[in-house]
Structure 1
Amino acid sequence: MIKKIIIALLSTILFSFLMAYLNHVPVSEREPNVYYSPLWSTAMIFAMYSLPVYLIGGISSSYLIDKLVGQKTFDSKWKRYLTEFIIYGIFGVVVAFIFLMVLTISEGEAYLITNSLLNFMTLGLLASLIFYHVSLIFGKKRNSTNELR
Structure 2
Amino acid sequence: MIKRIVVALISTAIFSLLMAYVNYVPISEREANVLYTPLWSTAMIYTLYSLPVYLIGGIPSSLLIDKLVGQKTFNKKITLYLTKFGLYGVFGIVAAFLFLMVLAIGESETYLISNHLLTYMTLGLIASLIYYHISLLFFKKQER
What secondary structure does 2:32 align onto? coil
Separation of aligned partners in 1, 2:38 and 2:85: 33
Letter in 1 for 2:47: A
Matched-pair identity in %: 68
Separation of aligned partners in 1, 2:111 and 2:98: 12
- 2:98 maps to 1:98: yes
Letter in 2 for 1:53: V
- Structure 1 residue ranges, 4+ long, deviating more than 4 angstroms after superposition: none
Matches within 5 A, 1:78-117: 78-111=78-111, 114-117=114-117
What secondary structure does 2:36 align onto? coil
The Cα of 1:113 is off from its aligned counterpart by: 5.4
Q: 1:64 to 1:24 in 2, by over 3 A?
A: same
The Cα of 1:109 is off from its aligned counterpart by: 3.2
Separation of aligned partners in 1, 2:57 and 2:73: 26
The Cα of 1:8 is off from its aligned counterpart by: 0.4
Structure with greater proportional helix content: 2
Separation of aligned partners in 1, 2:21 and 2:12: 14
Deviations 1:34-93 (A, max 9, x none): 221111100000000000000000000000000001111111111111110010000000
The Cα of 1:33 is off from its aligned counterpart by: 2.6
Separation of aligned partners in 2, 1:107 and 1:61: 26
What secondary structure does 2:24 align onto? coil
Separation of aligned partners in 2, 1:24 and 1:112: 23
- TM-score using structure 1 length: 0.91
- Gap regions ≥5 residues in structure 2: none
The number of aligned residues is: 143
The Cα of 1:99 is off from its aligned counterpart by: 0.7
Separation of aligned partners in 1, 2:8 and 2:87: 17
